[in-house]
Amino acid sequence: MIDQMKNDMRPATSCHCEGSQRMDCPKQSLRSPRPCGARDDGERLLKSRRASFGRGLTIALAISGSILLAAIPSAKAADSLEKAVGRIPVQAGGRTKPFASFAKESVLFVTGKTSFEGEDPTTLVWRWIAQPEIWSAKPILPVTHLRLRKHFESDLVRNRISPVLVLNDLEFKKIVNEAQIKESQEKRISQLEKKQIELYHRARLFEETAHGRMPGFIPHPGDPKISWLPLEALLSREGLEIAQNLYPKSELEQTASSLGLLLDHLRGGDFGQSYLAGERFAQSIEHVLLSRDIFLDQNAMNLEFLYLKLRPFQLAWILYLLSIIIWLAPNRQKKVTWVALALFVAGFAVHSFGFVLRMLIAGRPPVTNMYESIVWVSWGAAFFSLLFWIFFRSNLLPAVAACVATLTLIIAESCPTFLDSSISPLSPVLRSNYWLTIHVLTITLGYGAFLLNWGIAHALLYCLAFRKKRELVEHLTQYLYRSLQVGVILLASGTILGGVWAAESWGRFWGWDPKETWALIAVLAYLAVLHSRTAGWLDAFGVAFWSAVSFLTVLMAWYGVNFVLGAGLHSYGFGGGGLPYVLAFVVTDILAIVWLARRFKTVSPHH
């Protein structure tokens, strides 16, 4: 892999020997057993290499094109109900968002999947609303915990259960109530109790959504920030009477009629007419708001809808992957490496654009949960590789960054059940945007530098273990050292600034909170490596080995404290899930590092 990344093209040496001198040509005797004048063989070899390169590049582009096409939404999706009603502003989760965002979040939470039965989330949620009794009896709720499966053993269908069975199980509701009381008293609850509460909340969210009790569609004309009226207000006489105190009767009746027509078409399975009815319903909602001079920010809804449809972080890792495939293409030419670099830069641009979109939508830096921090850390790795590229002009840097960025973005996009990608309001402790920007961005940007350092460390260990060229080893050693320096500066600064933030928010600079403790451990681990390298105690192999191992302390401070320990004052970042996968990654990484180290020790010294 490293050999293919490294451009090792040498200038050709021509031979000027003529006649009988050809047999005695020293250049020819050292470089090839063939006669110096065998031009036909050389041309055939060159053509063969070009053909091999062309086939390799064609295969690489075909694979890449297939991946890209699979990620692009189909034309059918573009003409679905989502296009008609997806941009309608609704109130849910403490903020105003397009209905498509609410639908995506609801389907993911209820079903554990980004889509269900081949339906896009918007269409699926409207089908819930149109036929709540039918969908309530379908097994759509995932039951993941083994002991929880035993409780509902006779009711499960492919490890799923219907909402009505969960909500009508009095014994289960009693168990959930007891667990919720413990949780409200800030007592530690077991993993089983967490899953019981989660399953109950899934069923409740489905019930509230399917019966039109959420989200809010019609804001209060006096104060749009208070609770909005849901669809339930348009589906009953009592609800319409309440709404008529706020809006003109004629506009509400027109909206209720459009809503009824939409639901009738959905019940009848006429999705073509549902699309047209959805457009009329969206226009009716807009007319209701205009009747009281309410103007919501439709540009914000369009921006978030664009973000949902573009899926910038998925597109970014596809572009990163394309660059890796081209860098790894056999017999590639120098011009092609520029194509790979251009694709990497394009991926970085899309990655950055995605962050700008999230910031504009949320009104804050997007680093308040694990999903956002993963995509930010991968952005940091790509950013530092380009920054170093400006000084070193080495394609090794973006190639390594493309590998680690692709890996982390695939993880972020492939694990929606425990890496929540929804945009949520800030918790009170994070509402100081100044400290959020200074402390959190600094420390996670340090994680990005160490992610790049981790990738370079593995590349260097590979080169040393397999006795690659000395020049390549020297370059990687230099890049490893520079990324180590940048990471230590950022992580140390972020940890100190975190103490300043803690003094302002909690009244003390340092309290040995698990997050603080593991951040300090990570800083000390990398400082030890940096100091040992400066003092001459570690050679290139030692620095690479311990840099790769030290990344495990970052992983603990980053993931372990929030998702495993779940203790301390940093509760706003807590989550759950993914532990088996993370443990598998850690064990695999340790085994790989040890195997490379043993191989390095068993081969002759690298010169």
In terms of DSSP bridges, do strands 229-230 and 216-218 run parallel, antiparallel, or are they unpaired?
antiparallel
**pLDDT at site 12:** 40
Q: Judge contact between 230 and 212, C-beta under 8 A.
A: yes
Helix, strand, or coil (residue 91): strand
**pLDDT at site 576:** 62
Q: Judge contact between 220 and 233, C-beta under 8 A.
A: no
Please tell me the distance from the alpha carbon of residue 7 to that of residue 321, in angstroms, as a whole number.
Answer: 19
Q: Which residue has tokens 């708001």?
A: 289
Please tell me the distance from the alpha carbon of residue 407 to that of residue 419, in angstroms, as a whole number.
Answer: 15
Please tell me the distance from the alpha carbon of residue 50 to that of residue 352, in angstroms, as a whole number.
Answer: 36
b/e code 164-197 from CB counts within 10 Å (16+ = b):
bbbbebeebeebbeebbeeeeeeeeeeeebbbbb
Region 311-414: CATH code:
1.20.120
Q: What DSSP string runs through 382-451?
A: HHHHHHHHHHH--THHHHHHHHHHHHHHHHHHH-TTTS-----PPPGGG--HHHIIIIIHHHHHHHHHHH
Alpha carbon 437 to its chain centroid, in Å, reads: 20
Nearest one of 587, 571, 589, 567 to 579, comparing CA atoms: 587
Neighbours of 76 (CB within 10 A): 8
Profile the chain (607 residues) by mean pLDDT over runs of 10 residues.
43 40 38 46 52 51 51 46 92 92 95 87 95 95 92 92 95 94 86 92 96 93 88 90 90 93 92 90 93 89 93 96 89 80 96 94 81 93 96 93 96 84 74 69 92 96 88 92 95 87 72 83 94 90 94 89 64 64 92 93 62
Q: What DSSP string runs through 310-362?
A: H-HHHHHHHHHHHHHHHHTSTT--HHHHHHHHHHHHHHHHHHHHHHHHHHHHH
Domain boundaries of the chain, sorted by first residue: 87-297, 311-414, 426-607
**pLDDT at site 567:** 57
Q: Which residue has tokens 């920010």?
A: 297
Q: Judge contact between 274 and 266, C-beta under 8 A.
A: yes
Q: Which residues on neighbouring strands pair with residue 161, listed in sequence order?
A: 141
**pLDDT at site 188:** 81
Please tell me the distance from the alpha carbon of residue 606 to that of residue 599, in angstroms, as a whole number.
Answer: 12
Cis upstream peptide for 215 (omega within 30°): yes
Alpha carbon 549 to its chain centroid, in Å, reads: 24
Neighbours of 20 (CB within 10 A): 7
Could you give the angle at the alpha carbon of 261 between the alpha carbons of 255 and 264, nearest 5°?
140
Please tell me the distance from the alpha carbon of residue 216 to that of residue 93, in angstroms, as a whole number.
Answer: 10
**pLDDT at site 414:** 87
Please tell me the distance from the alpha carbon of residue 535 to that of residue 297, in angstroms, as a whole number.
Answer: 59
pTM listed for this prediction? 0.81
Query: For residue 605, what is the DSSP state?
Result: P
**pLDDT at site 526:** 95
**pLDDT at site 441:** 87
